[in-house]
A and B are shown apart, each in its own frame.
Chain A
């Protein structure tokens, strides 16, 4: 089991567009990933509904977990994504 902890950089928190970009990246990776708030229950990180319902505000840390041979690579990519302000105008061109 690999784990990462990262603070959400998007200024709106993990809502709306940032949540959409993040869950799409998880789905594209093909690896089952969970996401949890500090002390909270882990939920499917590929589900926009679960990710949005966490209601993670900007600047708060989340814990990502995954298993398997690709887990570390995928988690590193997701950490980079969450550490970016996905609500910034330039992020919309990248997506």
Chain B
């Protein structure tokens, strides 16, 4: 292993799970200057001998990708097959070889030819523009192969492994063979970023902001513990045994499948977050009482044009049909900011998080909203199951009224809005007067309250939902719900923290929605405390002067058995 690396690395854990296994690194793009000489065995190669190396690099990359494609399944298989054929393209290869033969340095020749094609693809737009990523991945792989560097990108996993990366793009996550992923650890990223959310949905332990983790060699055995935020290199038997015990305790918590409630029987609905109909099928097999957040933009992410009403309706109906008799809360399209959509996002916004995103799209593209509501209404009719439908990024009661009017005109029975903007939390009573329910998105609420970009990992302390100002806004929203007798849910990642969940219950939140892997621990924590105790814990948190103090006072007030079982 690498010398000089500390035995224990500290990061930010997402969720509470742990795993032990070998490191498999996602290799970065080779940083090689365009005029770097091609050196093989201490000798600088040019002309015909350089052509031979480049030609072999193309052939090796194409063969490796084709082989990976044969062993893969689903979308990963298709993406790899298409990339393999690009690497095998005779025009690409012959143009590069011609330039190398004429004396151009290898990297510059590959870059030049790939850029020509990338420009053509970009100009063609649409489907082709999206293939530019594949083209660049061919470029990176061929350059790495020719220069004798490790192949960039997600490695092919031969055994269950801890995937380690500087950061993971959504496309990288899609290329992972999930059956062989034990945990995901990144050097950058934030606890509410894309990778963390996906890992949570898959129930994988995940750590972000782990400085120095990419210095570990492939195959190094590590223990990854999201609860403590620690990566331990070459863990001893005692630590492995402790993590095994925790995993066993976690499984024991799963045996409680009764509806969520406090020790004294006060109902707290425990729901799951999903992104696709396939997720709904998975949730149907768990003790989740339904879905508290169906992120519909996931259906749209791959599309270059708006999916038709029929396509959307089929997807919504499939999700509803998978959960007969259970509550399903659907969030209308939340595009923009960190979730750009090819056909809906405003180009050239300087400040997209504060721009035309979420329900604000109705101002520029009302048809998108109308079509989605029509599709949801159709799914409601065809399944006989009424979804709860809510709009994201509502700032005013006027916006809530406008959405409710549109949704009810389509025949949607239960209409709500997200509370993610501080203005909506402060005026929650006026907003709730317009709709049937609200759901707090604590990630965005923290981002907008604390003026902190969700994607800036180094500001994670400011994004903390325990920040007193964020707690105040959650309390204001819950109070309005209690006064009006309308449901107030939480569907941000904070609901998945069993300690924070108790505060939410104490503040008056009526349902908690999270990645399904987090449900057993939250169910256990809620069931172990009375409503009165939760209220006392919430009051203590609200009275604290800092995020850390708020959490400390609540942890101190936990039932001692719960504290021990959850390892907090």
Binding site for B on A (CB under 8 A): 15-16, 20, 23, 27, 43-44, 46-50, 52-53, 55
Contacts and interface: CB of A to CB of B under 8 A. Distances in A.
A64 B78 CA distance: 28
Nearest to B126: A55
A47 B91 contact: yes
B124 interface: yes
A48 B86 CA distance: 7
Given A16-B127, A55-B124, A49 B91 contact: yes
A44 B131 CA distance: 19
Contact of B127 (A15, A43, A49): A15
Contacts of A55: 124, 128
Contacts, number: 37
B85 A20 contact: yes
30 contacts: A15-B127, A16-B82, A16-B127, A20-B82, A20-B85, A23-B85, A43-B91, A44-B90, A44-B91, A46-B90, A46-B91, A47-B89, A47-B90, A47-B91, A48-B85, A48-B86, A48-B89, A49-B86, A49-B89, A49-B117, A49-B135, A52-B128, A52-B131, A53-B117, A53-B120, A53-B121, A53-B124, A53-B128, A55-B124, A55-B128
A50 B91 CA distance: 8
B130 to A, nearest CB: 11
Given A16-B82, A20-B82, A49-B91, 16 more contacts: A15-B128, A23-B85, A27-B90, A44-B90, A46-B91, A47-B89, A47-B91, A47-B92, A48-B86, A49-B86, A49-B135, A52-B121, A53-B121, A53-B128, A55-B124, A55-B128
A12 to B, nearest CB: 8
Contacts of B135: 49
Nearest to A43: B91
Contacts of B117: 49, 53
A47 to B, nearest CB: 3
Contacts of B92: 47, 49
Contacts of B120: 53
Contacts of B128: 15, 52-53, 55
A23 B90 CA distance: 10
Contacts of A53: 117, 120-121, 124, 128
